A and B are shown apart, each in its own frame.
Chain A
Amino acid sequence: MVEGLSVTFGGVRALDGVDLEVTPGEIVGLVGPNGAGKSTLVNCVGGQLDADAGRVWLDGIRLDGLAPHRRARLGVARTFQRIAVFPELTVREHLFVALRARRPAGTRWSELVDRAQPTAAEADLLEATLERVGLQARADAPVGTLPLGACRLVEIARALVGAPRVLLADEPSSGLDPREAGTLATVVRSVAERDTGVLLIEHDLALVAEVCDRVVVLDVGQVLAQGAFADVMADPRVQRAYLGHVA
């Protein structure tokens, strides 16, 4: 999916020739110390940032150079480390907006004057998505009135609603209580079961161990190690990067 990606900020190489692949239905954990370049990588895939070198592919289509909304319509969905929700819209409206906007065909002229009502099929899909993240009870509350944990779930639901090809989740569990984190793990697994690839950036290693098929460790912009969680964590280089010494 990602080939030889490099990004430089000023003199700092945030990403230095990173190769990474997420196959459909696979959950890949992306871990590494702060400043390793994890969010930078996600921003390059999502289109929020342009890489200096390297390519980004999705199902054989080149994504790099495309605007973020184009990538979203091709099937890239993401959440943000600092949440980016729309406070005045309700949870249901979030999902509705995402569902409509993500259609590859784009906006129809009639949607300038329609009543913004979901069709029966769309309404079913919205309801199903609300149920998956457990937000039915809060579906009609403006998101600005919800606590942080619920906002994270709204972001995930918003990312999922159009059945994306790949989900990029940037520290989705930060700010979640244990029960919400449990919902998150279930949701992430259910996403993968529907053939969507997941790239999960996480500091919560227990969650990574629980849900990820494969783990990639990033440090100072380079892939340090990758493989099964236990193997990777046993790698002395990874322990040095994380703990400063070998355990």
Chain B
Amino acid sequence: MASTVFRSFQTHPFVFHPTTLLRRKNVLLYCTMRSQQTQTATQEKVKPQVKVSNLNPNKKLENISKDYEAVIGIETHVQLSTQTKAFCSCPYNYGSQPNTSICPICMGLPGALPILNFKVIESAVKVGLALNCKLAMNSKFDRKQYFYADLPKGYQISQFDVPIATGGYIDLDIPVEFGGGHRKFGITRVHMEEDAGKLMHSDDGSYSQESTFRFVDLNRAGVPLLEIVSEPDMRNGIEAAEYAAEIQRVVRYLGVSNGNMQEGSLRCDVNVSIRPIGQLQFGTKVEIKNLNAFSAVSRAIDYEISRQVLLHSQGQDKEIVQETRLWDEGAQKTVTMRKKEGLSDYRYFPEPDLPGVFLTQDYVDGIHNSLPELPEMKRRRYEKMGLSMQDILFLANDMNVAEFFDTTIKKGADAKLAANWIMSDFAAYMKNEELSINEVKLSPQELAELIAFIKDGTISGKIGKQILFELLAKGGTVKGLIEEKDLVQIVDPAEIEKMVEKVLSENPKQLDQYRGGKTKLQGYFAGQIMKLSKGKANPGLLNKILLEKLNAKS
């Protein structure tokens, strides 16, 4: 099954133009993901309309859906970010000139023998432990035979009956906007294998049906992958997308992969079947490929569920066949790629060119002790700090954001205040400028400082905001900026009183109106005084003194 996985993906990463990839790379993940998921959420609500209109307008579908349960399992391929390939020393860099990183081993030339990159084992053990799996202390590699131009040897080195890790689980939290809640999904297995090359339909990556040729780039052949297979525990598109997003977070936190879906470093194939509620037997399983974003995972599954439910409810369940379907992003639907005719015969056997993989408890313990704090642990820790789930998910989503936040609070900042600052103007700035948190000039130290200055009343919140943008763009220190621009908050009542009196005397008409009962004008006065103070007047004091003055002579 897994071999077919590669084939379809080779043809599709090219749908995206390389420049779009580069641009997207700099955008923080949560920005893109959130917006995508919002779309999904909207679509959820108008479910029958959007999805069913493609098949057959049927307003009853939502009701019918209640009688069915979807069963979803996901196979995720994670490309490891090692310097070299799995079994040879060829360097791998995404986007290199085609066929430049090749050698007799990854080209499958006669007589060449593979030697395992130990980093592959290290990564597999890390992921296995992070996913709470049982590790096979003794495992091995197997040959999976199939013929395709992207696979020069005629077989893929993979793991078959003894995967390195089995029987784990992953914890995640569903975002509040999708109903919230904690989920635990089972992990069936994690195994190591090599990637295949890329097969293109033509030079420029466009699809031309007429061409009788295909173009092969073998740079990726032999690059190490981990295949992570989930239990069929998910029930809808959101759960599946959140599962995939959590896998991405885990591999990024562990530093074993960049997890970029657009580059194909993280590929998801989902299996979807439906069954009437109460039925124990699983329905016919359909596999969906070409899912290049979490939003696509979510929408493709929900579309597929609707399609199957509709067919089943119309007595056409024979039309649901075991097949591989592709997600068509443009048309927002799944289309048949190929029907499965019997089970593939991969004729697995143990790879004779490689020794077994034997782990010692010491080795495993060493890795276990060096694991970083994982997303789930972070979320639970943030929860104990009293942060809201929305804050928690935002901060823990990106390891660098979480680290920034952690450092900020280590410098003494209040957790809730720090979270607010990072999530509001700070996040908006990064999104607009397409910068990652490591690229902004503001340091956690300075953010903590800023928060402290606001808290002790040295500067107002409004001035704080100005300083924040200044620091984000140009760097520098909060102290330096406050001194340089004379931004210290005015807390001297006498000074504020002077300003209040000045504004009141300059606006006699409004003062009369206020005293005539138009008390809403207080806001107007406050604004004028704040303006006069260049935003530096302490708002509490300002309002207190203003009220006293306004009501004094009435």
A associates with B: no
Where the two chains meet, the residues of B that have a C-beta atom closer than 8 Å to any C-beta of A are none
Where the two chains meet, the residues of A that have a C-beta atom closer than 8 Å to any C-beta of B are none
